[in-house]
Amino acid sequence: MADCIFCKIIAGEIPSSKVYEDEHVLAFLDISQVTPGHTLVIPKEHYRTILDMNAESASHLFAKVPEIANKIMRATGAKGMNIMNNTEEIAGQSVFHTHVHLAPRYSTDDDLNISFVAHEPDFEKLADLAAKIARA
């Protein structure tokens, strides 16, 4: 897409700090660097969100995630890694070209804060929701 910043990076119109590239996938350092080594892995073919991807393109993208994540871990000495995809604005997607964030983690005090609120399980509601999802 002509107005997509990631498509412009793929085309070489905008510079990036590449860490991996093949015919299907490009990985480069995120300019925000939430933590040192924060990398974006993107398909070279434009897909607005991960939900728009076909199985073949998704397999190319996700086959490279562990390889690139392991390289980041080795290079940075990180103790862990958050692997994330934000789909749609409500979930934090700000660039509408599918991308996976690889955010190395160094301590609980680094600049990435993700928290989940635990709820007491209602197994009947969970079963109903699981059945609804399975039928969809």
Residues with a catalytic annotation lie at 99
Contacts of 18 (CB under 8 A, 6+ apart): 26, 27, 28
- Non-local (6+) Cβ contacts of 60 within 8 A are 24, 25, 43
**Nearest partner of 110 among 45, 36, 4, 43, judged by Cα:** 36
| C-alpha separations of 26 from 18, 62, 68, 69 in Å | 7, 12, 10, 13
Please state, in angstroms and rounded to a whole number, the distance separating the CA atoms of residues 18 and 22. Answer: 11
Write down the residue that tokens 């990985």 correspond to: 27
